[in-house]
Amino acid sequence: MNPLASAFVTASAPSLAAGSTLVFFGDSITDCGRDRAAATSLGNGYVASVASRLGFRHPDPDRIIYNRGNSGNRVGDLAARVDHDVVAPAPAIVSILIGINDTWRRFDRHEPTSTAAFLDGYRALLSRIQEKTSTHLVLLEPFLLPVPADRKTWREDLDPKIGVARELAVEFNATFVPLDGLFAAAATRAPAAYWLPDGVHPSSAGHALIADAWLAATGLA
């Protein structure tokens, strides 16, 4: 039994019928080195870990899992490719992790995404998915640790976007994975850089944390 499982109570849980398709949608944290030339490449991060554990706990040779993370993506980038990457494969579950680049670009390129714009863009994205599919939504909370220390100033921008993700999870009856809090708790057990070496991108241990939390939140642990 996943030790995190008892920490999650969700309004709804996804079903995983035989032959189901799952799509993991997001930025570089999801991408994690996937081979763009191979449609079913899962990369080297939490998506591959979730897939392997699902394969062990819920064997199904007909299950299809797609990693559709693209490095550098913001919420608007997901909206631009949602029909191809999410609507077309008609997944039983779509898992979305987005938001950190909407914060990061404010600080490295002076290209901010306001909280209101993030909310509107994310809501439109989820509305499109629900309009065109019968998929179950899993929303992953964007996260950040203070590595290096200047990441602390990013909280003023990211924290409202975390609030948006939480709000939309309720609005769309999605399963929610509270990763920011889980990484903060993990950083009391080992240094923050052990989990997120640059405060954003997970180590192997950080990816394992995400995979465990995802399986627990969805009830598929």
Q: Considering the candidates 71, 77, 159, 201, report the single residue annotated as catalytic.
A: 201
Radius of gyration of the chain (CA): 16
Tell me whether residue 198 is one of the annotated catalytic residues. Answer: yes
Tokens of 74: 């913001």
Q: Which tens digits make up the pLDDT trace of 188-216?
A: 999 999 999 999 999 999 999 999 999 99
Q: Looking at this protein, which amino acid is placed at residue 146?
A: P
Q: Considering the candidates 28, 31, 49, 180, report the single residue annotated as catalytic.
A: 28
Q: Which tens digits make up the pLDDT trace of 139-178?
A: 999 999 999 999 999 999 999 999 999 999 999 999 999 9
Regarding pTM above 0.85, the answer is yes
Tell me whether residue 28 is one of the annotated catalytic residues. Answer: yes
Q: Is pLDDT at 96 greater than 80 in this prediction?
A: yes
- 72, with CB counted inside 10 A (0-12, 13-18, 19+), is exposed
